[in-house]
Structure formats: C-alpha cells, structure tokens
Amino acid sequence: MSHHMKVARQLQGQGYRLTPQRLAILEVIKGAGCHMSIQDILDKLADSYPTLSVPTVYRNLQWLKAAGLVAETDLGGECHEYEYIAEHPHHHLVCLECGERLTLPDSLLDPVREYLRDTLGYLPRAEHFAFFGICPACQAREDHDHPHEEHHADAP
Ligand SMILES: [Zn+2]
Ligand SMILES: [Zn+2]
C-alpha cells in the first residue's frame, strides 16, 4: 500500500469522506511539500482530471480545509496558497519588502490558544498563520537608502 493510500485509509477511519477528487487534490498538495495555488493544483491534475475547473478545486479545498487537512493562507502573493498541514503544523513569517519567508514553530501560538480556550471559552482552530513584517536585511537597506529622511521630517 502506498503512503498516500495509507493516509487515505487513516482519514476514512477517522470519519472523513474522501472522494477520489478530494483525495487526488490532497495527494497533489501533500506531494508538493510546499504551498500551491489553485492553478498549480489544476496543472498537476490536468492529465488525470481534464474536466476539473477552478470552482471545483476551490470547493474541494474548502472541504479539506474544514477537515483540518489543508491550510489556506494569504502570504501576500497574487493568490491564496494551499498546503498540507495534517502532519506538520507550523506558521509563517513573511517580509513585506523582499518576500523572504521563515517557518515558525506551532508552539508559538500555544499562549494564544490558551487564552482563546481558558478566557474566551473557544475551541481554538489556530492552525496556520502568516505574520508579516520587515526583515533585518530590509530594515538595514532602508536606513542606508534614506539616511536624511528622518532628519528632514524633523525640520520646521
Ligand atoms: Zn505553511
Ligand atoms: Zn526583507
């Protein structure tokens, strides 16, 4: 049995109704090991599912998302990206200037989950976050490019 089939069995055992289409999409995302756009997914499945359309992939992705198998993230690019997260919980830090991405440990959000659960009484679903900022290199570059700007701003 292939690894993917094993995963599918496991998921079905947990009550997930994985249709062949959902499984195919999940396999593509999982196999990629990185973030994928809907178009990336469509391209990969074009041979086996020539009639697959963007809305269909989108609907299936929403289902996979609700099942906690796939994360949808706006990482500041042109489109939302999808990624398999069931076995690798993590978060991202993206530089708004150069687009550099760091992966952050999932434990980072433990205090947030604790607050949502203990103080607000919510069942937290903080699975996949993107934080944005300016990386140290870009901060240094900006300081260097505009050495007098702050000085001018202070002038009367
Ligand atoms: Zn991710
Ligand atoms: Zn940067």
In order of their start, the domains of the chain are: 1-87 (1.10.10.10), 89-156 (3.30.1490.190)
21 CA from centroid of ligand 1 (Å): 22
134 CA from centroid of ligand 2 (Å): 5
> pLDDT grade, residue 1 (50/70/90)?
very low
60 CA from centroid of ligand 1 (Å): 19
Tokens of 89: 């919980």
For residue 146, the model assigns a pLDDT of 58
Tokens of 15: 């009550």
For residue 83, the model assigns a pLDDT of 85
For residue 33, which ligand has an atom nearest its CA?
1
Q: Looking at the chain, how many residues does it have?
A: 156
Q: Which residue type is seen at 116?
A: L
76 CA from centroid of ligand 2 (Å): 13
For residue 100, which ligand has an atom nearest its CA?
2
Is 38:6 a contact under the CB 8 Å cutoff?
Answer: no
Is 116:129 a contact under the CB 8 Å cutoff?
Answer: no
> pLDDT grade, residue 7 (50/70/90)?
low
**Rounded distance between C-alpha atoms, residue 20 and residue 8, angstroms:** 10
Name the percent of the chain lying above pLDDT 70. Answer: 85
For residue 155, the model assigns a pLDDT of 47
**Stretch 13-25: mean pLDDT:** 83
For residue 104, which ligand has an atom nearest its CA?
1
30 CA from centroid of ligand 1 (Å): 12
Tokens of 69: 């198998």
47 CA from centroid of ligand 2 (Å): 38
For residue 29, which ligand has an atom nearest its CA?
1
**Rounded distance between C-alpha atoms, residue 107 and residue 116, angstroms:** 15
**Torsion angles phi and psi, residue 18, rounded to 5:** -85, 110
Picking from 9-13, 43-47, 104-108, which range would have the lowest pLDDT averaged per residue?
9-13
More confident site: 118 or 147: 118
**Rounded distance between C-alpha atoms, residue 99 and residue 110, angstroms:** 26
141 CA from centroid of ligand 2 (Å): 9
- Write the DSSP symbol of residue 120: T
Question: Which span out of 26-40, 71-85, 134-148 was modeled with the highest average pLDDT?
Answer: 26-40
Is the entire prediction scored with pTM above 0.85? no
